[in-house]
Protein backbone atom coordinates (compact mmCIF):
# COMPACT_ATOMS: atom_id res chain seq x y z
CA UNK A 1 0.00 0.00 0.00
CA UNK A 2 1.50 3.33 -1.03
CA UNK A 3 -0.53 5.53 1.29
CA UNK A 4 -3.31 7.99 0.49
CA UNK A 5 -3.48 9.00 -3.17
CA UNK A 6 -5.14 12.12 -4.52
CA UNK A 7 -5.84 12.96 -8.11
CA UNK A 8 -5.22 15.33 -9.77
CA UNK A 9 -2.32 17.08 -8.03
CA UNK A 10 -3.15 20.38 -9.66
CA UNK A 11 -6.30 21.71 -11.28
CA UNK A 12 -6.81 25.07 -12.97
CA UNK A 13 -10.39 25.86 -13.88
CA UNK A 14 -12.42 28.80 -15.03
CA UNK A 15 -14.94 30.36 -12.68
CA UNK A 16 -18.31 28.69 -13.03
CA UNK A 17 -16.97 25.31 -14.09
CA UNK A 18 -17.45 22.11 -12.11
CA UNK A 19 -14.49 20.14 -10.78
CA UNK A 20 -14.15 16.72 -9.19
CA UNK A 21 -11.30 15.40 -7.09
CA UNK A 22 -10.59 11.81 -6.17
CA UNK A 23 -9.06 10.31 -3.05
CA UNK A 24 -7.94 6.71 -2.58
CA UNK A 25 -7.37 6.04 1.13
CA UNK A 26 -5.30 3.29 2.70
CA UNK A 27 -7.37 0.18 2.07
CA UNK A 28 -7.66 -0.91 5.71
CA UNK A 29 -8.81 2.53 6.87
CA UNK A 30 -12.56 2.90 7.29
CA UNK A 31 -12.45 6.61 8.11
CA UNK A 32 -11.88 9.24 5.43
CA UNK A 33 -11.69 13.00 5.84
CA UNK A 34 -11.63 15.99 3.49
CA UNK A 35 -9.95 19.23 4.54
CA UNK A 36 -9.33 22.53 2.78
CA UNK A 37 -6.19 24.60 3.32
CA UNK A 38 -5.57 28.13 2.14
CA UNK A 39 -2.16 29.78 2.04
CA UNK A 40 -0.69 30.42 5.46
CA UNK A 41 -3.50 28.67 7.31
CA UNK A 42 -4.02 25.28 8.88
CA UNK A 43 -6.33 22.72 7.30
CA UNK A 44 -10.06 23.29 7.85
CA UNK A 45 -12.43 20.36 8.21
CA UNK A 46 -14.94 19.83 5.40
CA UNK A 47 -16.46 16.39 5.83
CA UNK A 48 -15.93 12.89 7.21
CA UNK A 49 -16.95 9.37 6.20
CA UNK A 50 -17.02 6.16 8.14
CA UNK A 51 -17.13 3.47 5.50
CA UNK A 52 -19.69 4.73 2.97
CA UNK A 53 -21.65 6.85 5.42
CA UNK A 54 -21.06 10.61 5.45
CA UNK A 55 -21.36 11.32 9.17
CA UNK A 56 -20.43 14.97 9.49
CA UNK A 57 -20.27 18.03 7.24
CA UNK A 58 -18.84 21.42 8.03
CA UNK A 59 -20.77 24.61 7.46
CA UNK A 60 -17.91 25.41 5.05
CA UNK A 61 -19.37 22.77 2.76
CA UNK A 62 -21.89 24.88 0.91
CA UNK A 63 -24.57 23.54 -1.40
CA UNK A 64 -22.05 23.70 -4.24
CA UNK A 65 -19.91 21.04 -2.59
CA UNK A 66 -20.74 17.37 -2.51
CA UNK A 67 -18.71 14.38 -1.40
CA UNK A 68 -19.30 10.69 -1.86
CA UNK A 69 -17.63 7.47 -0.84
CA UNK A 70 -19.37 4.67 -2.72
CA UNK A 71 -18.78 1.20 -1.27
CA UNK A 72 -16.60 2.68 1.43
CA UNK A 73 -13.51 2.74 -0.76
CA UNK A 74 -12.37 5.79 -2.74
CA UNK A 75 -14.02 9.17 -2.29
CA UNK A 76 -14.83 12.05 -4.60
CA UNK A 77 -15.27 15.72 -3.81
CA UNK A 78 -17.16 17.77 -6.37
CA UNK A 79 -17.40 21.54 -6.49
CA UNK A 80 -20.07 22.97 -8.76
CA UNK A 81 -20.02 26.46 -10.22
CA UNK A 82 -16.56 27.19 -8.88
CA UNK A 83 -15.76 30.62 -7.45
CA UNK A 84 -12.39 32.30 -6.98
CA UNK A 85 -12.77 31.81 -3.23
CA UNK A 86 -12.66 28.06 -3.79
CA UNK A 87 -8.98 28.31 -4.73
CA UNK A 88 -7.15 26.25 -2.11
CA UNK A 89 -5.39 22.97 -1.42
CA UNK A 90 -7.90 20.15 -0.87
CA UNK A 91 -6.49 17.47 1.38
CA UNK A 92 -7.79 13.97 1.96
CA UNK A 93 -6.82 11.86 4.96
CA UNK A 94 -7.71 8.45 6.29
CA UNK A 95 -7.40 6.64 9.60
CA UNK A 96 -8.23 3.16 10.87
CA UNK A 97 -9.93 4.28 14.04
CA UNK A 98 -11.26 7.28 15.93
CA UNK A 99 -8.88 10.21 16.09
CA UNK A 100 -8.00 9.49 19.69
CA UNK A 101 -6.12 6.35 18.82
CA UNK A 102 -4.16 7.00 15.66
CA UNK A 103 -3.15 10.01 13.68
CA UNK A 104 -4.30 10.68 10.17
CA UNK A 105 -2.46 9.67 7.02
CA UNK A 106 -2.75 12.52 4.54
CA UNK A 107 -2.50 12.52 0.78
CA UNK A 108 -0.39 15.10 -1.05
CA UNK A 109 -3.46 17.17 -1.83
CA UNK A 110 -5.07 18.66 -4.90
CA UNK A 111 -4.29 22.33 -5.50
CA UNK A 112 -7.23 24.09 -7.11
CA UNK A 113 -6.84 27.43 -8.85
CA UNK A 114 -10.01 29.15 -10.08
CA UNK A 115 -9.33 31.86 -12.65
Q: What is the DSSP letter of 72?
A: G
Residue 33: how many CA atoms within 13 Å on its side-chain side? 19
Q: Which of 77, 93, 112, 114 binds another protein (CB under 8 A)?
A: 93
Q: Say if residue 101 is exposed, middle or buried (CB neighbours under 10 Å; 0-12, 13-18, 19+).
A: exposed
- Residue 62 is a binding residue for another protein (CB under 8 A): no
Question: Cβ 16 to another protein, closest distance in Å?
Answer: 26
Binding span for another protein by CB under 8 A among 13-21, 32-40, 62-70, 74-82: 32-40
Nearer to another protein, 45 or 74 (CB): 45
Any idea how long the chain is?
115
Question: Cβ 60 to another protein, closest distance in Å?
Answer: 9
- Residue 83 is a binding residue for another protein (CB under 8 A): no
The distance of Cα 62 from the centroid of its chain, to the nearest Å, equals 14
Amino acid sequence: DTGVSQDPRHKITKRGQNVTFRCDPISEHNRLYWYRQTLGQGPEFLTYFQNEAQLEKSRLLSDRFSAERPKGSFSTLEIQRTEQGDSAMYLCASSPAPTGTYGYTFGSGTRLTVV
